[in-house]
Amino acid sequence: MASDGPNPYTHLLSEVKIGDKTYKYYDLTALKDTRYERLPFSIRVLLESAIRNCDNFQVKENDVESILNWEKNQTDPKGVEVPFRPSRVILQDFTGVPAVVDFAAMRDAVKKLGGDPENINPICPADLVIDHSVQVEFSRTDQ
């Protein structure tokens, strides 16, 4: 992923120790911003993602401000874009197989144009779950 610079919100990084492991997380309460305190929990999830992924390239500080101004932006007739950068996507077979086919087609096209097909990858990790269940339409015993 390209980046114009380091994450400007690293001052919000905190640590929590669970057992023998230490984990880092962005402590949004350290924003000390009344706008954060009024955000619904669902919007706080989007805010945390924007802060965690802020690189001033794909996710900008202005995006974080837009989320913090959620209440005010609801009435904006033009709407406001919110960056959505999930840390992982889970695809079932009905949606995942077409996605895999699309990636294969894009890789083939890039290769035909002389490019490196290895450069065609999803931005976020994806898990494809294929259900191999067996369905029985008819069953009979001789008894």
Residue range of the domain that includes 111? 89-129
Is residue 137 in some structural domain?
Answer: no
- Rounded to two decimals, what is the model's pTM? 0.69
Is residue 39 in some structural domain?
Answer: yes
Is residue 139 in some structural domain?
Answer: no
Is residue 27 in some structural domain?
Answer: yes
Do both 106 and 53 map to the same domain?
no
Do both 17 and 67 map to the same domain?
yes
Do both 20 and 44 map to the same domain?
yes
Is residue 5 in some structural domain?
Answer: no
Is residue 79 in some structural domain?
Answer: no
- pLDDT value, residue 25: 95
Do both 93 and 53 map to the same domain?
no
- pLDDT value, residue 3: 52
Do both 51 and 96 map to the same domain?
no
Is residue 23 in some structural domain?
Answer: yes
- Number of folded domains that form the chain: 2
Do both 100 and 50 map to the same domain?
no
**Residues whose CB falls within 8 Å of the CB of residue 55, separated by 6 or more in sequence, listed in order:** 1, 2, 3, 4, 5, 6, 7
Name the phi and psi angles at 120, rounded to 5. -95, 100
- pLDDT value, residue 34: 94
From first to last of its 143 residues, the chain has per-residue pLDDT tens of 445 579 999 999 999 999 999 999 999 999 999 999 999 999 999 999 999 999 999 999 999 999 999 999 988 888 888 998 888 888 888 888 899 999 999 999 999 999 999 999 988 888 888 877 777 777 777 76
Do both 15 and 56 map to the same domain?
yes
- pLDDT value, residue 4: 58
Is residue 50 in some structural domain?
Answer: yes
Do both 65 and 117 map to the same domain?
no
As a whole number of angstroms, the distance between CA 140 and CA 115 comes to: 57
- pLDDT value, residue 2: 46
- pLDDT value, residue 10: 95
Do both 20 and 69 map to the same domain?
yes
**Residues whose CB falls within 8 Å of the CB of residue 11, separated by 6 or more in sequence, listed in order:** 30
